Amino acid sequence: MAGGAYVVIALAFALATGIVGRGKGSSFFIWFIVGGVVPVLGLIAAFLYRVERAEPERRCPNCGAVVKLYVQVCRRCGEDLHLPEPEDVRPGRLRA
Rule CB under 5 A: say whether 79 interacts with Zn ion: yes
Please identify, among the stretches 13-21, 31-39, 44-52, 72-80, the one whose residues bind Zn ion according to the rule CB under 5 A: 72-80
Report the residue number, 76 or 90, with the smaller CB distance to Zn ion: 76
DSSP code, position 86: G
Rule CB under 5 A: say whether 63 interacts with Zn ion: yes
Among candidate residues 33, 28, 44, 29, the one with its CA nearest the CA of residue 10: 33
Rule CB under 5 A: say whether 72 interacts with Zn ion: no
Return d(Cα 63, Cα 42) in angstroms, integer. 36
Backbone angles phi, psi at 45, to 5 degrees: -60, -40
Report the residue number, 25 or 56, with the smaller CB distance to Zn ion: 56
Task: Show Cβ contacts of residue 76 under 8 Å, excluding neighbours closer than 6 positions.
Answer: 60, 63, 65
Q: Which of 51, 56, 76, 91 binds Zn ion (CB under 5 A)?
A: 76
Which chain residues interact with Zn ion by CB under 5 A? 60, 62-63, 65, 74, 76-77, 79
